[in-house]
Structure formats: structure tokens, C-alpha cells
Amino acid sequence: MKFTRYSKFKGLDISSLNLGDLMESLSDSLLDSGYDDDYYWTRQRRPQDTSLDALRRALLQALMDQGLLDERQIQELLADNEGKFKGSMLEEMLNQLIERLVEEGYLTLKEERPSQPAPRREQPGMGRPEVSEPLPRNVKFEVTEKGLDFLGYKTLRNLLGSLGKSSVGRHDTPHLSTGVEAAAASKPYEFGDTINLDVNTTLLSAIQREGLTVPLNLEYVDLHVHQCDYQSSCATVVMLDCSHSMILYGEDRFTPAKKVALALAHLIRTQYPGDSLKIVLFHDTAEELPLAKLATTQVGPYHTNTAEGLRLARRVLQSQRKEMKQIVMVTDGKPTACFVEGVGQTFLSVRSGQHGDRTRTGRNAGSTAGPTRRLYKNSMGGDPFVMDATFKEVQACRKAGI
């Protein structure tokens, strides 16, 4: 007679895990900003680790934070493999979880070629036979646009979750337009208006013109349409400060700033159709950043050139054909740098060109290859020269209707 032996289930039911809650727990790891306890002293950015091993560690920590795994269960999963992680049930479980995240479209995997060419091997038969381990695969993970949008949704839900039941509307303006919902007196029809006829006013206009006759002759001038509140689209630029102070003094402030940008992107995409959102990073200089690259962006040993960030944001908004334009700036301190024309001990030569150009020719270097600008820096903040340059850019933005 055949017997079936049942044993206690070890591990987790991967198919039943809520990937949304898991992605929310992974948000700090996926949006890593290079924060490190030694950064205050070294001023060196820590490169983001996007290997599968780093992802497994982050997943394991997220499962423990959610209370789905504890130390005892982890030891049981490693016990069948003599305490080694490689080849254990724990590794297999985490790999299945990664596969599920990839299948759902939150993450994507790609294999990178080694930076150095592999050592040349002898052709079979040309030397002695050997047995060796296969070359390791360099597989990296990236957060997809769906994953970024989901992180933005989670952040937005947490930010607005305590505001009550009122839903977010559109951008209201003091102007009137034609539409389906009547909110004001009707107006004569003009070409291009929404044809939502005010029947009463239309008939009354025809009667006043020709009298009460049958049949009633309607002319073009008799047509009247309802008016509603005019709602406009808006162009938004989010300026993110990525100077070195954003992760100094024992606190990471750049990761929350990235979450705010993702939340705004999700809000605009879902609630304000027709709007546009651009990201501008400002540090020693400024550069426009694609939203897809926001997750892997880290801070650097830079100063805070707010004036250059406003200058680039204004240029970006001027290229948008929107009547409403706005800049949302996220920073942690005062401006500490600006570009000037001249030479000085604290100036850094930067070749003037496209936005975000970081070509540097060194301190006190006089380049004859083209016009150059110098970076004036004062780490203490509140420098009158820097503040004057910043306020000039603020005035330029106001004149541009921003």
C-alpha cells in the first residue's frame, strides 16, 4: 500500500503575497539616494547597488519588517542547506518573489556585459581538458515606469489620506467657457464652442426678431449655448535640490524629495489630463531629468545653485504652450552658488553650452576655446551676491507669468 507523508510547510506562499505592500516597503531601497554614514567625511557618492543580491537583501528585510518572516523561520529555511544561503530554500523563495515582481511589471532585469573582456580560452583539443565554474552573470534590476507610478500612487495616498472624502478636482480659473454643465448665463454661439444649446434663449431670440409665427425661422445669430467654468491645463516643473547637504547631518532628505516628485507625477497623470510635468535637478549647475531616471538619481558633493535651476526651469516652461505655468521647488537650505562672469579664487570654470553641461576646466583656468562662466560659491549661505542672482531669476520667472 502506498503512503503519503506530510510535513510542516516551510517558507511563504509567494502567490498570496500583496505585491503592493511589498513595493511600498521597498520604496526606500529602490529610491536610494546614496545616503551613507561616512558621506559627511568622505564627500564621495556611494554607487547604487542594483545587483540581484542587493534586491534579495532588500526583499528579505521588507518581509521581516512586515512580520511575514522572523529569525527562527530564516534559520529553518537555511538548515536544510547547512546554513548556507546559496542553494537554500530561502534563496529559492526570494527568486520566486523576484520573478513575480518582474511578471507583474514592477521590475525589469537586464544582463550587463563585463567591463573587461573575459580571459581568452584555448580552443578544445589545443590544450589539456579542464573543469571550471561557468562565468558569473552580471544581472541588474531596474524599476519600470509602472513601478515608479505605483510608488507615486502610494506616496500620494499617504499624503492625502487624512484630508477626508473630497476628491481632487481640476484647475479652476476665473474665466468662463462652453461645456455640458451649465454654471453661468448663456452666450451667442461662436464657431468652436461646445454645442450645448440653450433652447429657451435660442427660441426667445428668434421670436423677438420675427415675432411669434409658425413655422419659426431660426437664424445663426439666434443660437445660444450654455457656459461653464473654464478649466485650463498647467505646465509644472519640479526643481529638486541634489546638493550634498540633502543627505548630510544624519538624515536623508533627497529620498523623500523624490517621493514627492513621483506623487506629483501620479496626481497629474490621473487627475489633470493635458498637464505636463518636468523634473529639473539643480546643484553646482542644473539639468533636466527624465522621470524614468529619477529612481537611480543620487546626490553629489555639490553646492546649491538655485539661480541656475530657476533659469533652466523658466526655459523649460517657456517651451510649453500652456497659459498656467508653475515651479515647485524642494530644497533644504539657502542658495550657496551662482554663475558669474569673472575670475577669482573660489570660481570654477564651466563651459557654457547646453543645460546640465558639467565640463570643467579647473580653478582659475582661462579657456580660450569659447565663452566660459565661473561658479561663485559660499557654503555659509546668505551671500549677498548669490542672493541677488537668485532674486533676479525669480523676477524673470514672474515676468514670464510663472
pLDDT given for residue 179 in this prediction: 47
pLDDT given for residue 368 in this prediction: 39
Pick 93 or 112 by higher pLDDT.
Answer: 93
Pick 107 or 15 by higher pLDDT.
Answer: 107
Pick 348 or 212 by higher pLDDT.
Answer: 212
Distance CA 288, CA 244 (A): 18
Name the residue among 402, 392, 348, 346 with its Cα closest to residue 372. Answer: 348
pLDDT given for residue 227 in this prediction: 72
Confidence at 288, pLDDT banded by 50, 70, 90: very high
Task: State whether the Cα torsion 34-36-39-40 is positive or negative.
Answer: positive
Distance CA 58, CA 103 (A): 19
| Predicted structure pTM score | 0.60
Cis amide leading into 384 (omega within 30): no
Q: What average pLDDT does the chain have?
A: 76
pLDDT digits (tens, 9 = 90+) for 152-195: 888 777 765 544 443 334 444 555 554 444 455 777 877 767 67
Helix (H) or strand (E) holding 388: helix 384-399
pLDDT digits (tens, 9 = 90+) for 17-46: 888 888 888 887 787 776 665 555 565 666
pLDDT digits (tens, 9 = 90+) for 214-256: 888 888 888 888 776 555 678 889 999 988 888 877 778 888 8
What is the percent of the chain with per-residue pLDDT over 70, rounded to a whole number? 72
- Reduce the DSSP state of residue 198 to 3 states and report it: coil
Query: Angle at the Cα of 310 (from 307 to 316), degrees rounded to 5?
Result: 145
Range among 44-48, 57-61, 327-331 with highest mean pLDDT value: 327-331
Confidence at 52, pLDDT banded by 50, 70, 90: confident
What is the mean pLDDT of the segment spanning 310-330? 90
Q: Name residue 143's beta-bridge partners.
A: 107
Taking the CA of residue 242 as centre, how many other CA atoms within 13 Å lie in the half-sphere pointing to its CB? 26
Confidence at 292, pLDDT banded by 50, 70, 90: confident
What is the percent of the chain with per-residue pLDDT over 90, rounded to a whole number? 13
pLDDT given for residue 313 in this prediction: 95
Residues near 46 by beta carbon (within 8 Å), at least 6 away in sequence? 34, 35, 36, 39, 298
Pick 49 or 140 by higher pLDDT.
Answer: 140
pLDDT given for residue 190 in this prediction: 78
Res 200 pLDDT > 80: yes
Confidence at 315, pLDDT banded by 50, 70, 90: very high
What is the mean pLDDT of the segment spanning 97-115? 82
